[in-house]
Chain A
Amino acid sequence: MSSEMATAPAGGGGGGSASATHPRFSGRSLQRWELALVVVLAGTLVFGAAESPVFLTTPTIFYTGLNIGLIAIMALPLTMIVVTGEIDLSVAAMLGLSCTVFGYAFGHGIDVYLAMLIALAVGVVGGALNGFLITRLGLPSIAVTIGTLTMFRGIAEVILGQNEVTGFPNSLLVVAPIGGTQMAWTFAIFLVLAVIYGVILHWSPIGRSIYAIGLNKETAFFSGIRVTRIKFCLYVISGAICAMVGVLYALQNNAARYDAGTGLELNVVAVVLFGGVSIFGGRGTIIGVVLSVLVVGCFDEVLTLINVSQEEQNIVFGVLLLISVLVPNGADGYHRLRRRLQRGRTGVAAPTAAPP
């Protein structure tokens, strides 16, 4: 707010202590990262067009959306959770559990819409369990959600075993693009949710509270923000949305299996972090995550078109993830080094002279 504070972290320190980071400064550094993502996205599009003649055609839009859509939807609730400084590793396991419950209920003759509701209810209960353990008992979210990850997947395995449920009503399958367009259903849902999430996170009091919690939990608490209640709600919403993704997974593949989406949690986390959301909380934007989704989706599509295998694409993905933390921190590191060198030239001479 005050203008003299804006000059304090001149040149871009900010990496050291989150509490000292001025909001205006962090906003500026984030814009820089989002700009970088736009450049990377443009680069990907140019590279794709140069490498494959079919890249810039309409089916690509559909397949890109189809492949990244489910991960993208789960990235939104996770973004808010990471901004509060917590994490949820149980997202993909919740996908699997809800997919299983949905398939099991449908397979036992329950009406398909009722089955969806049951699956969503499971998501709410699972999210509430996470939220209860993390906010009420004060347990570390990373350990809790590794536990619920294992447990959700385990319960799914108990329910369906090695069976597969299929034969969902044709009218509900979301395999084809939305009529007349090249938009995949899951991707369209992602975009709508992204707008809602963007508005809540960036233009609402709740959103400001979420950032405040991530920057300093104690300060947020003493400012009258209901820290535990907000966190609890975020986990419940995350559970519900991941359960919805589980239903979409079943409808997109016309198959419900207990191992649906196994291992996707790390992909979702990676997409969120690549979008410039700080793992320590308090920093990150929905725009960044949307751009990250687009970059990752397009990159995967280009690499698939030029016959790079899915496994090999992971290298590129890992390198991108590494760059996403190294570049912003690299600037900090450079300034730190320069400061230290300057200090070395002027200040350190006296102390070193003292001992014999």
Chain B
Amino acid sequence: MNAAAGAPVRIAPAVRSHRLAETLARFRGLAIAAVILIVFGATSIKNPSFAHSTSIQEILTGAALFILLAVGETVVIVTRNVDLSVGSTLGLSAFEVGQLYTHHPHTSVAVALLVGIAIGAACGAVIGLITTVARVPSLVVTLAALYIIRGYVNVIGSGIQIEPSSVPTSFQSIGYSSILGVPWLFVIVIAVALVAAYGMRTFRAGRELYAIGSNPEAAALAGIPVARRVFGAFVISGALAGLGGALFLAEYATVDATGGSGYELLVVAAVVVGGVAIFGGSGNVIGAALGAILLQVINQSLVAVRVSPFWDSAIAGALLLAAIAFDRLLSTRATRAMRAKGGATYVE
């Protein structure tokens, strides 16, 4: 009713906090990129053969699937939800695409990828429906989905292993061939990440995801179709996990019922390291992707400097804790600065 009077007052602080969040996110992305470069540089000094295109390729290939899952997870976490089912969905999709090739060896690459995406999207749609219609916490729904989907993969795939011989070379080549030295796998993943980053930054629906995550009640009162957007976020996350399954098969050429087990917490870790707030409302896809790359760089660096790879998860865990503590520090500083600044403009 009084939108005309309310609008300018409401927009002004929103724009400022929006700009501040953007600056923080950009700063955050730069910080992670710097850490990646430092780790890479330090490793290269210790072991000069590390600064070689093959090891970079290895890092990019190794990180690709995690980046893909991290992009989907970011879309969900930004809305103040979480998707723990991505590992299982990836496993289901990888196995089903493998089955498809076993029974229909002449399926084209595009169809195989689409089948993977469709399977994942279907899983995401069911999860999204249950979460939004029944209004139950997504943590519980996706935890249940994790068990159900993995159990289903075990039922249909007990004792079956998809062999490399049944996966055509045209499909496998996504995993190993490269264009201008960049693995195809990585090209696909980065394309997806850029599209998602652009969409979340620019599209109305993308901005609405942030609004929902910042304050679900306020978002609903502002006329945002909360349920539809959250449903969409789960479908996207599922679809990307499904695509990840197809790419998993392309990369490893073999898969059994355990493919992708335990990925879910690693993905959440990468997303959080990448500066996405676990309670939604802030963070972006590029940060999450950089977080996934950072974890992978550390993993490969340990091998290169001949530190026992056993250190890998200890360092990853410490890094995650440092990242969220750092975020906290930064956001309290920023809030204080903003308050001080806001006070000054008010006095003027």
Contact surface of A with B, Cβ cutoff 8 Å = 15, 89, 133, 137-140, 142-144, 146-155, 157-158, 161, 262-263, 266, 269-270, 273, 279-280, 309, 311-319, 321-322, 324-326, 329-330, 332-333
Contacts and interface: CB of A to CB of B under 8 A. Distances in A.
A325 B137 CA distance: 8
Nearest to B312: A154
Contacts, number: 155
B147 A315 contact: yes
A321 B146 CA distance: 11
Given A269-B143, A314-B148, A154 B316 contact: yes
A143 B328 CA distance: 12
Interface string B293-326: 0000000000000001011111111101100110
Closest 9 CB pairs of A and B: A151-B317, A154-B314, A318-B147, A150-B317, A154-B313, A315-B151, A311-B154, A318-B148, A147-B320
Contact of B130 (A147, A316, A322): A322
Contacts of B140: 273, 279, 321-322, 324-325
Given A270-B143, A333-B133, 11 more contacts: A142-B278, A146-B268, A147-B320, A161-B308, A262-B262, A273-B140, A312-B154, A318-B146, A318-B148, A321-B147, A325-B140
A266 B278 contact: no
B188 interface: no
B150 interface: yes
Interface residues of B, number: 47
Contacts of A161: 308, 310
B279 interface: yes
A312 B143 contact: no
A316 B134 CA distance: 20
B141 interface: yes
B150 A155 contact: no
Contacts of A89: 265
A317 B134 contact: no
B324 A151 contact: no
Nearest to B277: A140
A139 B332 CA distance: 12
Given A140-B279, A270-B147, A325-B141, A149 B265 contact: yes
Chain A interface main SS type: helix
A157 B82 CA distance: 28
B317 A152 contact: yes
A195 to B, nearest CB: 27
Contacts of A144: 321, 324
A218 to B, nearest CB: 16
A159 to B, nearest CB: 9
Contacts of B139: 279
Contacts of A330: 134
B135 A333 contact: yes
B328 A312 contact: no
A15 B135 contact: yes
B152 interface: yes
B151 A318 contact: yes
A152 to B, nearest CB: 7
Contacts of B133: 333
Nearest to A326: B134
Contacts of B312: 154, 157
Given A149-B317, A314-B147, A325-B140, A158 B311 contact: yes
A314 B317 contact: no
A5 B136 CA distance: 25
Nearest to B317: A151
